[in-house]
C-alpha cells in the first residue's frame, strides 16, 4: 500500500498540473459517474493529503474529492498532444487543456479503495479519526505521544495504526525502528518523551525526502555502499523500485551495520523486519 509520502507527492503533482484550470471529469468505468458529473467543468483549486488520504477541492462547490488508493490503486498524471482512450478500469479521468503550447494534461485513477465526494462535515469527521501526519504543517506530534506513552501495545503495532500516526506504512515503520535501535516489541509506554521527539523529527525528515525523491530513502550516507552491495548480492542485480533499506524485505540477509541475520515475523497481518542485535530485546527495569 502506498505510504503517506506518495499521497503528498500526488497532491503536489495534481496541484501543479491542474490548479486554476477547468477540468473535464468522467468515469469511463462508470462506478463514479454521478460524482464525475458534479465535478465536470469546474476549476480545480488544489489538492492536499492527510496520511494515506488524498483530497481535491473545486470552485463552486463545498464537496471535496476523496481518494484512498488502498493496496492496488494507481493515479497517473500524463501530458501529450492527443488524449488516448482509457485503458483498463478507469474510475475517474480528469482532463485539462490544451495549454498554450497545445499540450493536454490528464489524470487516470484505477483500482482505488475509495473515490467519493465528501461534504465539509464528512471531511472533518474523516480527518478527526486520523492521527497527526508528519508531512503536514499543522501536525501535533503530542497527540500521537498521548496514545503511545500510555499504551501496552508494541511500538511496532502502534506505528501502523493510522489513528496514532497517519501515513506510516510497513517500510517506514521497520526502517524508523531500526534507525533508532528500538526493539519493535517494546511497549509504547516504555518509551520516553524525548525518544519519541527524536523519532518524530526523523519521520518528518525521512518522509519529506520521500516526497522529494518520490520514493522511500532511509539508509544513511555511511551505509549506502554496503546497502548497494547487499542489493547486488541478494537481489541479482534487479532494478529496485524503492530505495535502499536497512531491514525492510531483507529477511535472512546480514544487517548492514552489525552483520547479524535480519529477522521477520507477521505482526497484525503485516510482515515486520528487524535486526535482533541492533534492536536488542527491551527488558523493563525491575523485571
Model confidence at 241: pLDDT above 70: no
Show which residues are catalytic. Answer: 2-3, 52, 270
Range 4-128 classified under CATH 3.40.50.2300 = no
Q: Which of 10-24, 40-54, 89-103 has the lowest mean pLDDT?
A: 89-103
Long-range Cβ pairs for the range 185-188 (8 Å, 24+)? 185/154, 185/156, 185/281, 185/282, 186/154, 186/155, 186/282, 187/151, 187/152, 187/153, 187/154, 187/155, 188/147, 188/148, 188/149, 188/150, 188/151, 188/152, 188/153, 188/154, 188/155, 188/158
Choose between 240 and 17: higher pLDDT: 17
- Contact present, 277 and 255 (Cβ < 8 Å): yes
Please report the pLDDT score of residue 235 as a whole number.
Answer: 73
How far is CA 242 from each of CA 81, 110, 203, 239, rounded to the nearest angstrom?
A: 31, 21, 17, 9
Grid cell digits, residue 171:
517500510
pLDDT in tens, 249-260: 999 999 999 999
Please report the pLDDT score of residue 242 as a whole number.
Answer: 60
- Contact present, 215 and 199 (Cβ < 8 Å): no
Please report the pLDDT score of residue 214 as a whole number.
Answer: 95
Sequence-ordered list of residues with C-beta below 8 angstroms from that of 184, at least 6 positions apart, any chain: 154, 155, 156, 174, 177, 267, 272, 274, 279
Q: For residue 239, name the pLDDT band (cuts at 50, 70, 90).
A: very low
> What phi and psi, each to the nearest 5 degrees, are found at residue 201?
-60, -40
What percent of the chain stands above pLDDT 90?
89
Choose between 88 and 130: higher pLDDT: 130
CATH of 141-274, one of 1.10.3720.10, 1.10.10.10, 1.10.8.50, 3.40.50.10860: 1.10.8.50
| Spans of all domains in the chain | 4-128, 141-274
pLDDT in tens, 181-209: 999 999 999 999 999 999 999 999 999 99
Amino acid at each position: 500500500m502506498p505510504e503517506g509520502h506518495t499521497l503528498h507527492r500526488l497532491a503536489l503533482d495534481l496541484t501543479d498540473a491542474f490548479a486554476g484550470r477547468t477540468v473535464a471529469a468522467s468515469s469511463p468505468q462508470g462506478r463514479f459517474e454521478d460524482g464525475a458529473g458534479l465535478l465536470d467543468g469546474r476549476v480545480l483549486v488544489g489538492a492536499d493529503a492527510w496520511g494515506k488520504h488524498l483530497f481535491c477541492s473545486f470552485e463552486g462547490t463545498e464537496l471535496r474529492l476523496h481518494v484512498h488508493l488502498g493496496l492496488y490503486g494507481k493515479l497517473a498524471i500524463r501530458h501529450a498532444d492527443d488524449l488516448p482512450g482509457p485503458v483498463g478500469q478507469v474510475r475517474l479521468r480528469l482532463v485539462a487543456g490544451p495549454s498554450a503550447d497545445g499540450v493536454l494534461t490528464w489524470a487516470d485513477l484505477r483500482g482505488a479503495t475509495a473515490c467519493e465526494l465528501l461534504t465539509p462535515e464528512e471531511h472533518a469527521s474523516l480527518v478527526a479519526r486520523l492521527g497527526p501526519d508528519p508531512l503536514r504543517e499543522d501536525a501535533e506530534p503530542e497527540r500521537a505521544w498521548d496514545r503511545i506513552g500510555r499504551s501496552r501495545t508494541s511500538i511496532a503495532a502502534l506505528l501502523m495504526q493510522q489513528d496514532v500516526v497517519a501515513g506510516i506504512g510497513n517500510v517506514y515503520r521497520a526502517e524508523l525502528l531500526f534507525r533508532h535501535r528500538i526493539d519493535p516489541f517494546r511497549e509504547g509506554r516504555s518509551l520516553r518523551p524525548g525518544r519519541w521527539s527524536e523519532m518524530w523529527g526523523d519521520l518528518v525528515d525521512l518522509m519529506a525526502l520521500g516526497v522529494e525523491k518520490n520514493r522511500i530513502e532511509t539508509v544513511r550516507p555511511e551505509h549506502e555502499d554496503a546497502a548497494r552491495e547487499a542489493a547486488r548480492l541478494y537481489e541479482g542485480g534487479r532494478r529496485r523500485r524503492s530505495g535502499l533499506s536497512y531491514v525492510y524485505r531483507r529477511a535472512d540477509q546480514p544487517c548492514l551495520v552489525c552483520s547479524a541475520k535480519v529477522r521477520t515475523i507477521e505482526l497484525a497481518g503485516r510482515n515486520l523486519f528487524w535486526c535482533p542485535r541492533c534492536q536488542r530485546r527491551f527488558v523493563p527495569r525491575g523485571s
